[in-house]
Amino acid sequence: MNRLPVVVLISGTGSNLAALLASARGEDCPYDVVAVIADRDAAGLEHARAAAIPTQIVSLSAHPDRAAWDQALTAAVAAYNPHLVVLAGFMKLVGPPLLDAFGGRIINTHPALLPSFPGAHGVRDALAHGVKVTGCSVIEVDAGVDTGKILAQTAVEILDEDTEETLHERIKAVEQPLLVEVVRRLTAAR
């Protein structure tokens, strides 16, 4: 099977990246993670290094302005000629250069059932609003904040005893397999 190249962008511990890498070890997997790029020295880079996958840090602070960073990030991703770009806990908005180069081929996860609770605090916002069900979404990235086409969602019940931390952990438990399923589907469809 000819596997399609995927570049993963991260900012944190890389739990979604780890799930993608575990899936990629399967013989029937339609993709390979060919590079992992972070916007900081993220702990999740260790998952890639342990799998001998190239890593790179493209830090905003290393560039004179946001436009220069956007260009550098786009160049770093483009160097691997990916079929798909996966934002897996990447905590920066991507700019026009990346969207222009890979539009329709960038996906992201979000810890809420979009269009409800977009932005950086989806879990906290769901708890604050007192909803009984939240979940996770995988979307196609566009120029807005969590406004892209919804590709898949999974619901998670909010328990009375949930804190932001416990709810987020339960969301991650369903987010990881959902992300893997979407990446497999998008790369298998070619």
What is the average per-residue pLDDT within 165-188?
97
Q: What pLDDT digit, counting tens, does each position of 104-151 carry?
A: 999 999 999 999 999 999 999 999 999 999 999 999 999 999 999 999
Summarize pLDDT for 11-21 with one digit per residue, the tens: 999 999 999 99
Q: Is residue 190 scored above 90 in pLDDT?
A: no
Question: How many angstroms separate the CA atoms of 148 and 166, rounded?
Answer: 27
Query: Does an H or E element contain 68, and which?
Result: helix 66-78
Say whether 122 sits in a helix, a strand or coil: helix
Active site annotation includes 63: no
Among 110, 121, 129, 168, the active-site one is 110
Cβ contact 92:11 at 8 Å: yes
